[in-house]
Amino acid sequence: MKIIFLGTGTSTGVPQIACNCKVCKSTDPKDKRLRSSVLVSNAKHNVLIDCGPDFRQQLLQHTIHHIDSILLTHEHYDHVSGLDEVRPLREVTVYAEKRVLEVVKKNLPYVFNAHPYPGAPKINLLEIKNDTNLFQVPGFEIQPIRLFHHKLPILGFRIANFAYLTDFSSIEETQLKKLEGLEVLVLDALRKYPHPAHVMLSEALQLVDKIKPQKAYFTHLSHEMGLHNEEQQLLPENVFFAWDGLQIEL
């Protein structure tokens, strides 16, 4: 199984528009962050987690020609607004909670009304009905993980010994049990000081200590985190800041 980080930035991306901070002005490719998304693949199938506004650019950069399934963590714009871009691909199935699917249908009425617009993308919608049951997508078994993005209930996902938890500020103890024995954990770490809807760096490090994966990678990073190469030196040896284009083999 291969993991490709298509984007590792927060909702504004990095560099951020109209910002002249040292991170936004950096020429290091690891400081250039598209909106957060990850591709999980095996020999036959590709699963995308989240589909934001940089989706087209991300697929072109990595020469990705097909996607079987899209898992949506929640309905915020930076995680769903790229769905129209699947139109050149063959039919794609989107998996999400009912509330999220309703937003998708509202955003793309020309896809889901009684008479779809000619050339509209072919998207099947399948509801994730709860966070307790495993479910199957082509090539993979998925374990939902309940998270809270401030007060909004959202989902993370575990696939084999890999887990992806983004855009969350809290996770209940019962959900931590689903994360035992991980080889790779990817989790939100927006910045170094508190945010009402995201874990900050110190909280993310505490979760790594509690979950104890073999390796952990931080994503959904803002320009306020600092320069990649400087900040990486301050992390424990098994913890890393992810960057756009990073690939991991499991």
- For residue 88, what is the domain's CATH number? 3.60.15.10
Preceding peptide of 15 cis, ω within 30°: yes
Check residue 149 and give its pLDDT.
98
Task: Report residue 243: phi and psi, to 5°.
Answer: -140, 160
For 169-190, the pLDDT digits (tens) are 999 999 999 999 999 999 999 9
| Residue 183: half-sphere exposure toward Cβ, Cα within 13 Å | 10
* Parent domain of 148: 2-249
Provide the total of helices (H) and of strands (E) in the chain, helices listed first: 7, 14
Query: Which two tokens mark 48?
Result: 């995308």
pTM of the model: 0.97
Q: How many distinct structural domains can be found in the chain?
A: 1
Give the mean pLDDT of the chain: 97
Q: CA 71, CA 93: separation in Å to the nearest integer?
A: 9
Check residue 132 and give its pLDDT.
81
Instruction: Give CA torsion, residues 112, 117, 121, 127, to 10 deg.
Output: 0
